[in-house]
């Protein structure tokens, strides 16, 4: 039997169906908990720029999928690092072959809009970190006339204070890259990385991290002139307008060849920050506490064993979840640790387990909205692995349909919460 509907009934049905579709769309939109930005170094397109893949994470399954119009050009050649501004509305991308930082405004839908491009003071930038006040960039070589790959010299760090937009700086983003801070000691816009006991040695930087408080910034590096002398962590206090001052006792010993650095446990419940540094040669993680003056002190039992070729490290940004994670590039695994918050053993790592990733993970991040998902960027198989992170045990479980395809040679990752209210996360 065929049923007949009046014109008014048909309109009601159409309206009801439209409302159902709208409700479905709204529900789907609210399930997006984070936007994740993966930089791929392989040149693509006529301009030979790198690419930025933008993924959204489903809050229930953890599934990652690329947003419409992704990927976006990185704005330069060979992107190697990313960082998010403290307000989660700007992405900074380092393009090594162009010596540039490209600033993108982030739309409410996660899309990227290029806003500003600046040159770094040195040669071949390789790492970046950001907070609400400053952007820190590390260059492989200082900007000296003789510095090159044929005649290398030590690296350096520069600081870009973040300013408000104005007609004079031709910037329309929420914050803008200001003029690099000036180092009066060398009368230049950078701070050289030198070891007092070996001032003529070539010091090669590898990573940078700024504490959540913004008071101190740390740079990992190693002595390429005499590798057996080991690696270092350079510590600087951050003053007004981004001016840096070396912390007493800096640089601090850090294995043989440190490859990555991260910090955590900052907050009222854990007032003593911890800093972790991976050693890619020895396969260890060095743990430190950071004093109120920025001095690093090794925690009990440091260093802690990781896998082979540790390449990146992340600390859960939520003080209530005391976990750290290290990617092991040679093993294609991520190792999970619990972090002691006891005053007598703060910062001590206890291994939870290791979990398989894609081939050669080189960067890691934790979702800044719920701290419930962890992702690794896998260089050799052009994927990003996604895990559900147990906030009660620190264990990892593969998210739905993980791993996900990226563009060629992914090297860096950053993420923001969908609602823009989280603390953001930077990863090298």
pLDDT at site 418: 84
| pLDDT score recorded for residue 46 | 62
Q: What are the DSSP E strand ranges found in 371-419?
A: 373-378, 383-389, 396-398, 404-405, 410-417
Mean per-residue pLDDT over the chain, rounded: 88
Spatial separation of the C-alpha atoms in residues 390 and 370, rounded to whole Å? 11
Which is higher by pLDDT, 1 or 342?
Answer: 342
Cα 284 from Cα 310, distance rounded (Å) = 7
Question: What was the pLDDT predicted at 20?
Answer: 39
Which residue do the tokens 């999928």 mark?
65
pLDDT, tens digit, 9 for 90 and up, residues 67-108: 999 999 999 999 999 999 999 999 999 999 999 999 999 999
Confidence band for 56, pLDDT divided at 50, 70 and 90 = very high
Percentage of residues of the chain with pLDDT beyond 90: 74
Q: Are the CB atoms for 39 and 412 separated by under 8 Å?
A: yes
Question: Which range (4-8, 54-58, 224-228, 347-351) has the least confidence?
Answer: 4-8
The Cα–Cα gap between 130 and 127 comes to: 11
pLDDT, one tens digit per residue, over 192-235 is 999 988 888 999 999 999 999 999 999 999 999 887 778 999 99
Q: Read off the pLDDT of each residue in 249-263 and give the average, rounded to a whole number.
A: 96
Instruction: Give the CA-trace dihedral at 283, 372, 359, 382, to 10 degrees.
Output: -140
What are the chain's domains?
31-427 (2.130.10.10)
Per-residue confidence (pLDDT) for residue 360, from 0 to 100? 98
């Amino acid at each position: 039997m065929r049923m007949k509907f009046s014109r008014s009934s048909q309109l009601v049905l159409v309206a009801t169906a439209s409302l159902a579709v709208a409700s479905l769309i709204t529900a789907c939109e609210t399930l997006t908990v984070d936007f994740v930005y993966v930089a791929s170094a392989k040149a693509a397109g006529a301009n030979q720029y790198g690419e930025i893949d933008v993924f959204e994470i489903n809050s229930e399954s953890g599934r990652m999928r690329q947003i419409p119009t992704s990927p976006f050009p990185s704005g330069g050649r060979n992107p190697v690092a990313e960082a998010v501004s403290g307000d989660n509305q700007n992405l900074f991308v380092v393009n090594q072959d162009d010596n540039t930082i490209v600033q993108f405004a982030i739309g409410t839908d996660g899309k990227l809009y290029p806003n500003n491009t600046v040159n770094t003071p040195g040669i071949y930038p390789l790492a970046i970190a950001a907070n609400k006040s400053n952007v820190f960039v590390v260059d492989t070589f200082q900007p000296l006339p003789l510095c090159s790959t044929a005649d290398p010299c030590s690296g350096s760090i520069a600081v870009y204070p973040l300013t408000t937009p104005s007609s004079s700086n031709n910037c329309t983003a929420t914050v803008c890259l200001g003029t690099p801070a000036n180092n009066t000691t060398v009368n230049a816009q950078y701070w050289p990385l030198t070891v007092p006991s070996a001032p003529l040695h070539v010091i090669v930087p590898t990573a940078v991290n700024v504490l959540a408080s913004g008071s101190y910034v740390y740079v990992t590096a190693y002595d390429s002139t005499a590798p057996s002398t080991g690696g270092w962590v350079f510590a600087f206090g951050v003053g007004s307008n981004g001016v840096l001052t070396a912390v007493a006792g800096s640089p601090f010993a850090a294995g043989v060849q440190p490859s990555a650095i991260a910090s955590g446990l900052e907050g009222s419940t854990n007032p003593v920050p911890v800093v972790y540094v991976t050693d890619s040669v020895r396969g260890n993680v060095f743990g430190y506490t950071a004093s109120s003056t920025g001095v690093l002190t090794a925690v009990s039992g440091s260093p802690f064993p990781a896998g082979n070729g540790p390449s990146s490290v992340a600390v859960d940004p939520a003080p209530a979840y005391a976990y750290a994670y290290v990617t092991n590039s040679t093993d294609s695994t991520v190792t999970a640790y619990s972090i002691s918050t006891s005053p007598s053993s703060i910062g001590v790592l206890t291994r939870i387990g290791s979990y398989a990733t894609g081939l050669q993970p080189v960067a890691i991040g934790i979702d800044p909205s719920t701290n419930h998902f962890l992702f690794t960027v896998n260089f050799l198989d052009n994927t990003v692995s996604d895990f559900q992170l147990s906030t009660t045990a620190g264990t990892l479980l593969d998210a739905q349909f993980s791993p996900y395809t990226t563009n060629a040679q992914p090297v860096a990752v950053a993420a923001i919460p969908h609602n823009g209210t989280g603390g953001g996360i930077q990863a090298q």
